[in-house]
Chain A
Amino acid sequence: MIATTELTLWTDVFSTKTGAVYQCDAERCWYVDFAGKVARFDHRNFLKLRKAVYAIDIEEKLLNTTTDPDVEIIFICACDHCYVLSLAQIINLKELLEGTFVMLELNHIIHDRLFSNSL
């Protein structure tokens, strides 16, 4: 559970039924609330997380008939966090990240069009 004092410093970027992403302007980072933990990601690691999740071929995993468990380990170099996710969780995380980056892109457009022009 996220403490309310922390939440006031965090901006809600995007959330789904399974998780949420918050941005902390003061720390210049993002907090990902997913799979039962809240993990902190700086700019570089957040992009690496996106790359790692997007690179997982979900269709290939669904069609895979081998007896391996449907579990994927998402490990990011030089990052404290690691995810061990089931196929359904990967789909959820991908959805969460896609939405997040659309929102960040939207935020960028707003900054670009509104704030830069008003200076």
Chain B
Amino acid sequence: MKDLLRIKSLISSDIEALLNQQVKKEAFSSSVYLAMASWCNRNGYDFSSEYFFKQAEEERHHQLKFYKYILDMGGNAVSPEITGIKQEYNSFREVFEEALDQEISVTNSIKNIYARCMKEQDFITMEFLNWFLKEQREEEYKARRALELFEVIGEEGTGRWQIDKHVGQIKYDSEA
């Protein structure tokens, strides 16, 4: 008896489900960052708003990368339904705290898929995920650095104005 499921698809249905979950997670992240960009813009933090617009764009790009991978491997990519996006924040700092939480959650989720791939010996998906693992290094660094600015600069006086200005300059260019 031929292995028909394998002929049609390179990834197992479990991996496919996890990847689809990740598509949703990336789409959710993109929407969260968009809401953050809006909040920052409304409250006069223009550089941070721009920073979150860029982040939203990146997350959307990640979503499409997962989406196309599932299709290329013969799976069924599911366009996700995104609801429950928080639109209001109590403070400028809270926005960045939640951005870091969001990135940590994405990293954990990718680690989880990677662990499952190791169990199944799905080296092809593992190789695909390597790009994301590296990307998460940058994402978490940027989110952590933004929060660090609150400590280093402080929020008193023109502190928030300074923080906003520096958020726009955060870069991660480690080649390692």
Chain B CB within 8 A of A16 CB: no
Instruction: Give min CB distance, B168 to chain A, whole Å.
Output: 45
Q: Mark B1-14, 1 if CB is under 8 A from A, else 0.
A: 11111111100010
Are A23's CB and B76's CB within 8 A?
A: no
Are B76's CB and A47's CB within 8 A?
A: yes
Interface size on A, residues (CB 8 A): 15
Q: Bound complex: CA of A85 vs CA of B159, how far in Å?
A: 67
Are A108's CB and B5's CB within 8 A?
A: yes
Are A47's CB and B7's CB within 8 A?
A: no
Query: Given the complex, which residues of B lie within 8 Å of A29, measured CB to CB?
Result: 4
21 contacts between A and B (CB under 8 A): A23-B1, A23-B2, A23-B4, A25-B4, A28-B7, A29-B4, A30-B4, A43-B5, A43-B8, A43-B9, A44-B8, A44-B76, A47-B13, A104-B3, A104-B4, A108-B3, A108-B5, A108-B6, A111-B3, A111-B6, A112-B3
| A residues lining the B interface (CB < 8 Å) | 11, 13, 23, 25, 28-30, 43-44, 47, 104, 107-108, 111-112
| B residues lining the A interface (CB < 8 Å) | 1-9, 13, 76
